[in-house]
């Protein structure tokens, strides 16, 4: 197996040292993930379990800090490999579980994902400032018992982090002593550099680039050691000033900075096991957002941005999906660098239309300075990092259309005299879905125990409320409709076949669909081949899709905020088309029951034939300026279409066109179906092959067959 291969046979650049590449091979091979599985939990005595979830959680977090195995990554000769300290070594955390049990029974306490923590504040202020804020807040005599309990849990999380930090310092000190005794000068200096850096951060502010990277990594590792899956956010912006200062003072070279960042990425692969688990082993929501303007509107796309993109261009690391913010302020080189990364496949780097996203947030009511900070929740849904509790509600709009409007799941006789009658009934049903959503969103808050997460979300300390109880500055519950491309295609097929061509009546067509096209293969083939569906730049069907999106957004924004809960609309499937396929009847646009249909706002598989530009044109006929939580367009390119410099230029053109036409978020993957099918047959030869799945990338061999088939069935586009 070649670890640094690419799914499109374009050689990867080599920039990092052999030591770093060796470290990458170990991590990408699953060495550390399999090691973590040997110790899934820490165990607490059953008699210590109480009826108070806060106490159980606090004890679990402290036990994790005291007992979790410590790891220093070494080569086969026992020499240190890593340049950063800290590791999430408890295997149960890989499964989104707080990795502590009371006599084998998992305590009732949540782990958290779909958020981005405020790592920037840790870098700037240091964790000691957090304790000071906590102790000051606890002096308030007006606090309720519940608030005091919440603050106490947050303080316990701080103390636990300090315990874990001290254990690592002690370990490094021991390693220094042994290296000195053995007269291993180089090893001693390696351990000394690790010790000196960790002795400052994350409890004091970072004063150098290395300290900044270590501060983010150690904090991130502790949060996920406790079972949480946080996004990281705008890491280049957090480190940019430190990098510039070090470079100017001669404390660090560009190559040294690249090595440090590479070790951050490589250590982030420590949960790889290469064991199949359905939707892939890289789905831990640890997204990075790069580039774009700061809160003052000044573009900060810079050298750290470039270095991080160069790392994923060199190594097939799918574990940190990267979203690059590109707007009119952005330097010209960023689209070329993004294109160079994209053409190596894996779908690890995607693009936000920064200007549209910021305008949408402002239009929704966010202050402009807050809007400019935007990142994501671990996939691509937009939020203000470190200040937001985020939940979304997935809904199958196409399933509702088939079930409640066409009545394909029952024998209810139904007809609509005109296409507009059909559409009016559909919109009424969509409003019913939104009414149900809002009723659920009114019960957003709860008394969850989330002390570790509370520390890293602005507002939780100040409000003395937990993350789940509305502590963060913004509390967001977003409706997310799925199946819009198929709804548009189905409406279009009915419009053409029934209302315009009048080949058969509405009732007759519904009977055919209820029978799954049985005995009607010529008609099914006619419907599949005669009409030009969404994704081919056909105004007739694209206008229907745009109309659905417009009406959905308009109806959502009747209730933008209620009961202190923001409700920005989004459109997504996140692969749920796999789950929905077995409960969806036959489709009016020619698909039989059980077919995997469209994802997000991408075309229905096998219906797009006019190339990537046509897909973008179709998708961008809709207005996304008020779709504040966002949506994504997925495109898969044939490797032959992106070879050489012309290929890079072609991808750049797609990126620029997408922004110019008003797209929201674009994911492009480059992979050959022949390679994917070979990976299905011979997974041992393709263990590092990564593909874009939805809001995340994953090693292809860790997807189950349904997920693999979904990726394969996406139409590969030429240019």
Q: Report the C-alpha gap between 486 and 587 in whole angstroms.
A: 8
Report the sign of the C-alpha dihedral through residues 491, 496, 497, 499, in that order. positive
185: confidence class by pLDDT, cuts 50, 70, 90: very high
pLDDT tier, 709 (very low <50, low <70, confident <90, very high otherwise): confident
Task: Specify whether the CB–CB gap between 571 and 600 falls below 8 A.
Answer: yes
Angle between helices 254-267 and 235-249 (to 10 degrees): 150
Q: In sequence order, what are the residues at sequence separation of 6 or more whose Cβ sits closer than 8 angstroms to the Cβ of residue 133?
A: 461
Q: Give burial (CB, 10 Å; 0-12/13-18/19+) of 370.
A: middle
Burial of residue 190 (number of CB atoms within 10 Å: 0-12, 13-18, 19+): buried
Share above pLDDT 70 across residues of the chain, in percent, rounded to a whole number: 97
Report the alpha-carbon distance of residue 329 to residue 300 in Å, rounded. 9
pLDDT at 3: 58
Is residue 276 very low, low, confident or very high in pLDDT (cuts 50, 70, 90)? low
Q: Which of 611, 630, 649 is the last residue of a domain?
A: 630
Cis ω before 316 (30° cut-off from 0): no
Per DSSP, what are the bridge partners of residue 74? 80
What's the CA gap between 337 and 317, in Å, rounded?
17
Dihedral over Cα of 313, 317, 321, 322: its sign: negative
Q: For residue 92, how many C-alpha atoms fall within 13 Å in the half-sphere facing its CB? A: 19
Please tell me the predicted confidence (pLDDT) of residue 448: 74
Alpha-helix runs per DSSP H in 105-144: 119-125, 127-137
User: In terms of domains, do 399 and 321 share one?
Assistant: no
Task: Looking at the structure, tell me whether residues 361 and 497 fall in a common domain.
Answer: no
Q: pTM (2 decimals)?
A: 0.95
Are residues 376 and 398 both part of a single domain?
Answer: no
Examine residue 396 and say whether the peptide bond preceding it is cis (omega within 30 degrees of 0).
no
Tokens found for residue 278: 């359905």
- Measure Cα distances from 517 to 113, 141, 183, 577, 675 in Å: 42, 71, 79, 21, 33
What's the structural domain count of the chain?
2
190-193 CB contacts, 8 Å cutoff, 24+ apart: 190/80, 191/80, 193/83
**CB–CB of 523/512 below 8 Å?**
yes
In the predicted structure, residue 373 carries a pLDDT above the cut 60:
yes
Element (H, E) at 647: helix 644-661
pLDDT value of position 6? 63
Kindly state the tokens that stand for 612. Answer: 């990537």
Q: Looking at the predicted structure, is the pLDDT value of residue 1 above 50?
A: no
The per-residue pLDDT for range 395-448, each reduced to its tens digit, is 999 999 999 999 999 988 899 999 999 999 999 999 999 999 999 999 888 877
Look up residue 422 and give its two tokens. 């059909």
Q: Tokens in use for 276?
A: 């199949």
Extract the tokens encoding 26. Answer: 């170990």
Q: State how far the alpha carbon of 277 is from the alpha carbons of 94, 214, 582, 695, in Å.
A: 11, 31, 20, 17
What's the mean per-residue pLDDT of the chain? 93
Do 281 and 417 share a structural domain? no
Question: Count of alpha carbons within 13 Å of 577, Cβ hemisphere only?
Answer: 31
* Residue range 672-679: mean pLDDT, rounded: 85
The whole-number pLDDT of residue 719 equals 47
| Rounded (to 5) percent helix, strand, coil in the chain | 50, 10, 40
Of the two residues 589 and 675, the one the predictor is more confident about is: 589
Residue 194 is encoded by which pair of tokens? 């690790």
Q: Which pLDDT tens digit goes with each residue over 438-483?
A: 999 998 888 778 899 999 999 999 999 999 999 999 999 999 999 9
d(CA 575, CA 610): 24
Q: Are 366 and 486 within one domain?
A: no
- Asked which of 340, 358, 380 is the last residue of a domain, the reply is 380
Alpha carbon 103 to its chain centroid, in Å, reads 34
- Rounded CA-CA distance 243/586 in Å is 57
Cα dihedral angle (425, 431, 435, 436), rounded to 10 degrees? 60
**Angle CA 488–492–497, to nearest 5:** 155
158, 182 in Cβ contact below 8 A? no
Last residue of some domain: 331, 358, 380? 380
Residue 89, domain member (yes or no): yes
Cβ–Cβ under 8 Å, residues 354 and 325: yes
Q: Does one domain contain both 375 and 403? A: no
Residues 230 and 372 in one domain: yes
Q: Please check whether residues 221 and 154 belong to one and the same domain.
A: yes
Judge whether 510 lies within some domain.
yes
Degrees, nearest 5: CA angle 169-173-177? 170
Whether 637 is in a domain gets the answer: no
- Is residue 423 assigned to a domain? yes
Sign for the CA dihedral angle at 527, 530, 531, 532 comes to positive
pLDDT level of residue 277 (50, 70, 90 thresholds): low
Taking residues 671-693, report their average pLDDT.
83
Mapped onto helix, strand or coil, the DSSP state of residue 37 is helix
151: Cβ–Cβ under 8 A, 6 or more apart, which residues? Answer: 134, 137, 138, 143, 461, 464
Per the document, the length of the chain is: 719
Do residue 414 and residue 328 come from a single domain?
Answer: no
**Lookup: tokens for 272:** 């790889």
402 and 332 share a domain?
no
What is the tens place of the pLDDT at every residue in 358-367? 999 999 999 9
| Residue 329 CA: distances (Å) to CA of 325, 326, 333 | 10, 8, 12
State residue 445's pLDDT score: 87
CB 494 within 8 A of CB 588: yes
Residue 676 falls inside a structural domain: no
Is residue 446 domain-resident?
A: no
Whether 674 is in a domain gets the answer no
Whether pLDDT at 695 is above 80: no
* 64-81 mean pLDDT: 96
In CATH, what number is assigned to the domain containing residue 41? 3.20.70.20
Neighbours of 681 (CB within 10 A): 8
CA–CA dist 437, 479 (Å, integer): 7
Separation CA 62–CA 69 (nearest Å): 14
Contacts of 264 (CB under 8 A, 6+ apart): 84, 213, 216, 217
Residue 364 is predicted with a pLDDT of 97
- Please check the confidence at residue 31 and state whether its pLDDT lies above 50: yes
Inform me whether the pLDDT recorded for 715 exceeds 90. Answer: no
Domain match, 513 and 370 both: no
Strand partners, 571: 481
Burial of 182 (C-beta count, 10 Å sphere; 0-12/13-18/19+)? exposed
Predicted confidence (pLDDT) per residue in 514-562, tens digit: 999 999 999 999 999 999 999 999 999 999 999 999 999 999 999 999 9
Q: Say if residue 433 is in the same domain as residue 331.
A: no
Does residue 16 register a pLDDT over 60? yes
Instruction: Check residue 282 and give its pLDDT.
Output: 73
Question: Which structural domain range is residue 253 located in?
Answer: 18-380
Please tell me the least confidently modeled range out of 338-342, 375-379, 665-669: 375-379
Inside any domain, residue 668 = no
pLDDT tops 90 at residue 172 = yes
**Could you report the per-residue pLDDT of 35-66, keeping only the tens digit for each?**
999 999 999 988 888 888 889 999 999 999 99
Tokens at residue 197, please? 């850096």
């Amino acid at each position: 197996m070649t670890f640094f291969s690419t799914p499109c046979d374009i050689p990867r650049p080599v920039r990092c040292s052999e030591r770093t590449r060796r470290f990458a091979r170990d991590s990408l091979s699953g060495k550390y993930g399999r090691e973590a599985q040997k110790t899934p939990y820490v165990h607490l005595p059953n008699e210590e379990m109480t009826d108070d979830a806060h106490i159980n959680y606090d004890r679990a977090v402290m036990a994790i800090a005291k007992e979790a195995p410590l790891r220093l990554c070494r080569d086969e000769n026992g020499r240190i490999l890593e340049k950063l300290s800290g590791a999430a070594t408890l295997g149960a955390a890989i499964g989104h579980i707080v990795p502590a049990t009371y006599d084998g029974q998992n305590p009732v306490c949540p782990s958290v994902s779909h958020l981005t923590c405020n790592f920037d504040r840790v870098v700037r202020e240091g964790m000691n400032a957090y304790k000071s804020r906590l102790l000051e807040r606890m002096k308030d005599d007006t606090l309720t018992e519940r608030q005091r309990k919440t603050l106490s849990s947050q303080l316990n999380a701080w103390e636990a982090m300090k315990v874990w930090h001290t254990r690592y310092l002690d370990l490094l000190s021991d390693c220094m002593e042994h290296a000195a005794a053995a007269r291993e000068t180089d090893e001693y200096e390696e351990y000394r550099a690790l010790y000196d850096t960790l002795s400052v951060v994350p409890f004091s502010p970072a004063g150098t680039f290395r300290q900044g990277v270590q501060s983010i990594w150690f904090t991130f590792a502790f949060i996920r050691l406790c079972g949480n899956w946080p996004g990281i956010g705008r890491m280049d912006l957090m480190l940019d000033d430190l990098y510039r200062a070090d470079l100017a003072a001669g404390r660090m070279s560009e190559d040294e900075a690249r090595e440090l960042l590479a070790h951050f990425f490589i250590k982030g692969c420590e949960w790889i096991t290469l064991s199949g688990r359905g939707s892939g082993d890289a789905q831990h929501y640890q997204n990075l957002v790069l580039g774009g303007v700061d809160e003052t509107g000044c573009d900060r796309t810079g050298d750290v941005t470039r270095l991080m993109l160069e790392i994923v261009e060199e190594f097939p690391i799918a574990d940190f999906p990267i979203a690059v913010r590109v707007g009119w302020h952005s330097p010209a080189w960023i689209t070329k660098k993004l294109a160079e990364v994209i053409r190596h496949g894996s779908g690890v780097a995607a693009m936000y239309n920064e200007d549209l996203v910021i305008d949408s947030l402002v239009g929704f009511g966010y202050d402009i300075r807050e809007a400019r900070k935007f990142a994501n929740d671990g996939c691509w849904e937009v939020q203000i990092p470190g200040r937001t509790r985020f939940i979304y509600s997935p809904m199958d709009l196409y399933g509702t259309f088939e079930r409640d409007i066409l009545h394909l799941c029952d024998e209810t006789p139904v007809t609509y005299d005109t296409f507009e009658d059909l559409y009016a009934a559909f919109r009424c049903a969509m409003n019913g879905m939104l009414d149900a959503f809002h009723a659920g969103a009114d019960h957003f808050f709860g008394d969850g125990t989330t002390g570790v997460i509370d520390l890293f979300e602005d507002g939780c300390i100040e409000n003395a409320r937990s993350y789940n109880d509305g502590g963060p500055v913004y509390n967001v519950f977003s409706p997310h409709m799925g199946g819009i491309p198929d709804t548009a295609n189905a409406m279009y097929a009915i419009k053409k076949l029934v209302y315009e061509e009048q080949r058969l009546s509405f009732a007759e067509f519904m009977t055919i669909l209820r029978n799954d096209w049985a005995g009607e293969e010529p008609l099914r083939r006619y419907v599949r081949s005669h009409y030009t569906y969404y994704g081919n730049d056909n105004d007739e069907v694209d206008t229907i899709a745009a109309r659905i999106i417009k009406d959905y957004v308009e109806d959502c924004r009747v209730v933008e905020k209620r009961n202190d809960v923001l409700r920005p609309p989004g459109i997504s499937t996140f692969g749920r088309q796999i789950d929905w396929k077995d409960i969806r009847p036959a489709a009016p646009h020619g698909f039989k029951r059980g077919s995997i249909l469209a994802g997000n706002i991408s075309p229905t598989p096998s219906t797009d034939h006019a190339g990537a530009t046509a897909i973008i044109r179709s998708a961008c006929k809709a207005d996304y300026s008020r779709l504040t939580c966002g949506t994504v367009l997925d495109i898969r390119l044939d490797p032959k279409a992106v070879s050489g410099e012309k290929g890079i230029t072609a991808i750049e053109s797609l990126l620029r066109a997408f922004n110019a036409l008003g797209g929201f978020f674009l994911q492009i993957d480059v992979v050959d179906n022949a390679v994917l099918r070979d990976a299905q047959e011979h997974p041992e030869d393709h263990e590092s092959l990564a593909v874009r799945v939805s809001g995340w990338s994953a090693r292809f061999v860790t997807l189950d067959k349904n997920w693999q088939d979904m990726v394969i069935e996406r139409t590969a586009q030429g240019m």
